[in-house]
Every structure is written in structure tokens, then in C-alpha cells.
Structure 1
């Protein structure tokens, strides 16, 4: 049996959302994500490295695994998120290897942003 580079790696993350346009506006403003629409109930997002999707096909289910994004400049990432309407749920804190904070998106999903940089 052979394996590929994608074997046992995160390949996609899907969010059930209440409003696709709102989610696109939020993540586009905060992280410059790009989007491809596949009908009225599904939009693929890409951050340039990882893809996922927003769908209205099921009920919003906040919670689940914590998705952690990386930022070279943690303070700038927090400012962009707050400007996009995020609620910061856990202030910046240090952990072995870096610092991070948690935020909540418009549908109640909690995500985190971390950095190994000093700022």
C-alpha cells in the first residue's frame, strides 16, 4: 500500500453557518481568505494552504475541535478580528512555544490564533 502527502493530514474543515455571506465577509476581512461558491448552500474557503467550507445544509453546531490559525503578528490579527466583529473569549496568554488568544465568530464557533513571534 502506498501513501500520499495528504495521508493522515487535515484536509478540510467545514463549518455549518447561519449566513454564508456573513461568514465570507467575516473571514475575508479578518484573514483575507478567498472563496469559491458551489451553489447557494455551500462555499469553499481557502487561506492559501488549507481549504474548507461553509454550509447552510445543517444546523449551526458551535463547539467541536478547536481550529487554531497562525499569525506572524498576533496583535495585528486580534485587531483585524475585533474590527470584523469577533468576540475575544480568552485574552492573549503564553504557552510553551508561543502565545495565543481565542475568539468567537458570528455563529458562535470558538477558534484560536497563535504565534511564535514576540509581538
Structure 2
């Protein structure tokens, strides 16, 4: 068994406050602030944080894609839209399930998938 494994991810956020509100509303995440420019993500399945930065995490820029799991893909898409996320790829099928891609208030790209 490997000792070294992924356990933390850090994501840039130009709109740190808006990004926190978005993820709290849509996915019910909570946060722990560490000063004005960093917040730890809690209750999201993997530990991580958002750091204040003008950088953007998008697949077309070569960034890794953070993929979230959903039990109801259509409901998740609706919550993303209501909270102000932008759908950048509508629901599509792939081997193993279906997913869509969206951007958060800071412009970072994520995907949500379901079986």
C-alpha cells in the first residue's frame, strides 16, 4: 500500500467570498478562514482550500479537473445555475456515466458526474 497519496487540493479564487458562498449554497460545503486570502474547504470529500489569486483553473489551460459526484445530476445542474454558476458543457454521456462542466464565481472549471 502506497504511503504517499493525494489528500489536499488548493484552487485559486479571484472572488474568494463569492466562491465560498457558491459552494456553500450548491454543495453545502463549509469553510475555515485562515486570514483574508485563504480558506480551507471542509466537508467536501477531500481536504483542500481556496487561495486568493487572479489565476484560473480551466482544462483548456492545462489544469487538472476537479470532478464532483452527484446522486441526481439534473438537480445538481439546476442548483449550479440558480447559484450563478455558468454551465460550460451541458450534460453528456461517457463510459461509466454522465456529467456536465461548470465554472464557479472565480471562473474555475469543475465537473459533476453521476452513474
TM band (smaller chain): 0.7 to 0.9
Hey, what's the Cα distance between the residues in 1 that align with 2:9 and 2:84? Answer: 21
Hey, what's the Cα distance between the residues in 1 that align with 2:81 and 2:44? Answer: 22
Larger radius of gyration: 1
CA-CA distance at 1:3 after TM superposition: 4.6
Q: Cα 1:74–1:52, aligned 2, differ >3 Å: closer, same or farther?
A: same
2:56 alignment counterpart: 61
CA-CA distance at 1:48 after TM superposition: 4.4
Question: Is this contact kept in 1: 2:16–2:106, CA < 8 A?
Answer: no
CA RMSD of aligned residues (A): 1.5
CA-CA distance at 1:70 after TM superposition: 0.3
Calculate the TM-score normalised by the size of structure 1.
0.85
Residues 3-60 of structure 1 show CA distances to partners (whole Å, capped at 9, x for unaligned) of 54xx23x21121111122111101111100011111111100123421111111x432
- Tell me how many residue pairs correspond in the alignment: 111
Unaligned runs of 5+ in 2: none
SS in 1 for 2:67: strand
Out of 45, 65, 72, the position equivalent to 1:49 is 45
Hey, what's the Cα distance between the residues in 1 that align with 2:87 and 2:45? Answer: 25
Question: Is this contact kept in 2: 1:62–1:107, CA < 8 A?
Answer: no
Question: Is this contact kept in 1: 2:100–2:111, CA < 8 A?
Answer: yes
Hey, what's the Cα distance between the residues in 1 that align with 2:16 and 2:25? Answer: 14
Calculate the TM-score normalised by the size of structure 2.
0.88
Question: Is this contact kept in 2: 1:26–1:84, CA < 8 A?
Answer: yes
2:28 alignment counterpart: 32
